[in-house]
Amino acid sequence: MIVGGEMKYIEVKIVTTIFNLEQVEIKLLDMGIAEYIINDPRDIEDYLKKKQSYDWDFISDEVMAQKDKEPELIIYFNSTEDSKEKLDLVKKEFRNMSVTIRDDKDWKDKWKEYFVPINITDKLVIKPSWCDYDVKDGEVVLEIDPGMAFGTGTHETTSMSIKLLEKYIEGGMDVLDVGTGTGILAIAAKLLGAENVLGVDIDPEAITAAKENSELNKLDIEIKEADLTKGVEFKADIIVANLVAGLNVSLALDASNHLKDGGIYISSGILIEQEENVIRAIEDKGFDKIEVLEDGIWCAIVVRKKK
C-alpha cells in the first residue's frame, strides 16, 4: 500500500511459547508462509555460551532483556492480493498477535537488526551487505541484501541446502536452482565451484533481488523468471530446490528431464513428518535415495537420477 507517497508494509508479530514454536511454524507453512523472523530467547543463551561460529564482545541491556520473554515470530506482508489472503488466514488462526503498519525505511532497518554474518559451513559465510567481516583462511563470503524477496540464508532449509551443495559440487559442474528467491543457493553454488549456474523463480521481485545479489558478489549467474522449470532449457549436474514438499514432488519429473545421467536432485523445505512420503514419491520418478539431512523440524533429501 502507498500512503502519502511512501510504501507501507504490514508487520505481524505472533507471540507463542517455546513448546508451541514448531507448531506455529508448521501452521504458517500450511498457509504458504515460509519466510519469517524468529525471536527465540534460547538463541541468547547460545550466544552467552558462545555456541555460534562467531563470538561477541558485548551484549546490550536491550538484547539481554529479551532472554526472559516468550518466543515470537515476525512476518512482513506487502499489499498484493496473495499477501492480503495470507494475512487474513493468520488473523483467524492466531489470537496472541499484533499488526503494525510500517513504512519502507522501517522495513529495511528491521532486517538489519536480525541479520548478522554467520558461518553456514566451515567454508561458506553469509554476510549482509552493510556489515564488515574479517575473512579467515579458506573461507568464501556470500554477500546478500534480502530486499523485498526475503531470505537471508539462515533458515534451516536454506542452510541444509548449502551444506549439501558444498558436499556434492565438483569444479566445473552445472547447477540449476529452482525457486531461487534472493539467489542465495545459486550464488553459493557458484562460490563453491560450479561452472554454469541458472536460478529460476516465479516471483518478479525475487528475480530482481537475485540479479542484484549476483552483481553484489560480482558473479556471472543467469537468473530467469519461470514457473518451476517450465520453458527452461538447461541440463544440470545438480538441481537444488528449497520449496515445500508438494512442489518438490511435482518438480521431480521435470528435474529428471533437466538432469544429466547420474545427476543429483537436492530437495529441501520438507517437514520431517513428510519425509518418507516425499522420498517414495520422488523415487517413483526415477531416482535413488542417497541421503537425508535433518535440522529441527525440517529435512533435505538427496537423490540421484538413475542411469
The pLDDT score that the predictor gives to residue 95 is 85
Residues 158 and 289 in one domain: yes
- Where is the domain boundary, 114, 133, 156? 114
Give the CATH number of the domain where residue 29 resides.
3.30.70
pLDDT tens per residue, range 161-208 = 999 999 999 989 999 999 998 899 999 999 999 999 999 998 888 898
pLDDT tens per residue, range 38-72 = 876 665 455 445 544 444 444 444 444 555 568 88
Q: Residue type at 182?
A: T
Asked if 106 contacts 91 with a C-beta cutoff of 8 angstroms, the reply is: no
If you ran DSSP here, which 8-state letter would residue 159 be given? Answer: H
Residues 88 and 220 in one domain: no
Contact partners, residue 125, CB within 8 Å, separation at least 6: 117, 118, 119, 133, 135, 139, 140, 141, 142
The pLDDT score that the predictor gives to residue 290 is 97
Q: Residue 96 — pLDDT band, cuts 50, 70, 90?
A: confident
Is pLDDT of 222 > 70?
yes
- Where is the domain boundary, 81, 99, 114? 114
Residues 99 and 7 in one domain: yes
Q: Which candidate, 219, 176, 165, places its Cα nearest to that of 200? A: 176
Residues 233 and 129 in one domain: yes
For the chain, how many structural domains are there in total? 2
3-state secondary structure 9-72: EEEEEEECCCCCHHHHHHHHHHCCCCCCEEECHHHHHHHHCCCCCCCCCCCCHHHHHHHHCCCE
Q: Which domain holds residue 78?
A: 2-114
- Where is the domain boundary, 65, 81, 114? 114
Residues 85 and 173 in one domain: no
Average pLDDT over residues 245-261: 91
Residues 79 and 93 in one domain: yes
Residues 164 and 266 in one domain: yes
